[in-house]
Chains A and B, each alone.
Chain A
Amino acid sequence: MGHNVYLYILGMWAVSYLIRVLPLTLIRREITNTTIRSFLFYVPYVTLAVMTFPAILSATQSPVAAGIALAAGLALSWFGGSLFQVSVACCAIVFVAELVLVK
């Protein structure tokens, strides 16, 4: 290839770290602007929702099993399931569902 793989890795790490660390180190004060504060308030929920669907459906062997886990995970979270409980429940549901759905 003529390229050093460790140099690639170093470059990938450096640029990723800069992106991750710059706002956290440069923004040392509380932002007072209402629009920016509101934007940042909504960001976590929107980004996690965007990452969850429809990606969850292609994470498993059977999209149907993932769909069941999605519905169950939403319901369980709604009724107060903890992070650990919801996570483990989704895994268990996919495992059992795929015993039936995937030959």
Chain B
Amino acid sequence: MLTDRKKWFLKGLKDGIPIMLGYFAVSIALGILARKAGITAAQATIASALIMASAGQHIGFTLIAAGAGYLEVVVMEAIANARYLLMSTALSQKVDPALPLRHRLLMGLWITDEIFGVSVSVEGRLNPYYNYGMAAVATPGWALGTLAGVVLGNVLPARVVSALSVGLYGMFMSIFVPPARKNRIIAALVAISFAASWAFNALSWFDIISPGVKIIILTVAISLGAALLFPVKGGEGRGA
């Protein structure tokens, strides 16, 4: 059991490296935004280490800069991060049903798009130590990138930030493409998701909807449609 934990933690550290690099690059922009919003380096770094949500922090910092009320910030934060409800539900079916509460409480701290995407795609049951390993390297990347953004502005050359930012999307592709190769329905869903997401962005009357809300609307609509049309039988649904 102990060696199992260690194995998963170490695997998490390794798989967390691309997340850390991507996070560092992406969160620099968040730090620059925080600075413009009048948030100090310490405050921005603490916010990033705790909240770890790009869209959520972006909206939060923007509202803080505008002097919005506490309730307004909390409500917008909830809307921007609502997709984590779905991710947390999916993870609840991925872990051992007997997993103790303390592990559930800990895992919940680090449900981000990337950590979720990687952890939900493991074979069979998910060991929480995998998530802890990823969080151990990804969190410093996110917090330090934010700090660098506040303190130094554009620390890295633009082309380096540009290259590192795309790594997160590379990760996503390595997660959804292999199952799409094996399963035609998933392949079709990926194509539909790309098209629908593109349409949502292209049509300007959706501009008032924040990116976090677009993600959840599309995810629910497409996944629900697929669930009704192509229900997954028996063991096939297990482990996802």
User: Judging by beta carbons under 8 Å apart, are A20 and B111 in contact?
Assistant: yes
Partner of A61, one of B116, B158, B227: B158
Chain B, Cβ-Cβ closest to A47: B219
Please tell me the size bucket of the interface on A: 35 or more
Total number of B residues with any Cβ neighbor in A under 8 Å: 104
Contact A84 B14, beta carbon cutoff 8 Å: yes
Let me know if A95 and B109 touch, CB within 8 A.
no
B78 to chain A, nearest CB (A): 5
In-complex Cβ contact of B222 among A8, A19, A46 (8 A):
A46
Partner of A12, one of B51, B69, B167: B51
Interface residues of A (CB under 8 A from B): 1-3, 5-9, 11-17, 19-31, 34-56, 59-62, 65-66, 69-70, 73-74, 76-78, 80-95, 98-99, 102
Question: Lowest 4 CB-CB distances: which A-B pairs, in order?
Answer: A21-B108, A90-B170, A77-B177, A49-B193
List residues of chain B with CB under 8 Å of any chain A CB: 14-15, 17-18, 21-22, 38-40, 43, 46-47, 50-51, 53, 56-57, 60, 64, 67, 69-70, 73-74, 77-78, 81-93, 95, 97, 101, 104-105, 107-109, 111, 113, 116-118, 120-121, 158-160, 162-181, 186, 189-190, 193-194, 196-198, 201, 211, 214-215, 218-219, 222-224, 226-228, 230-233, 236-237, 240
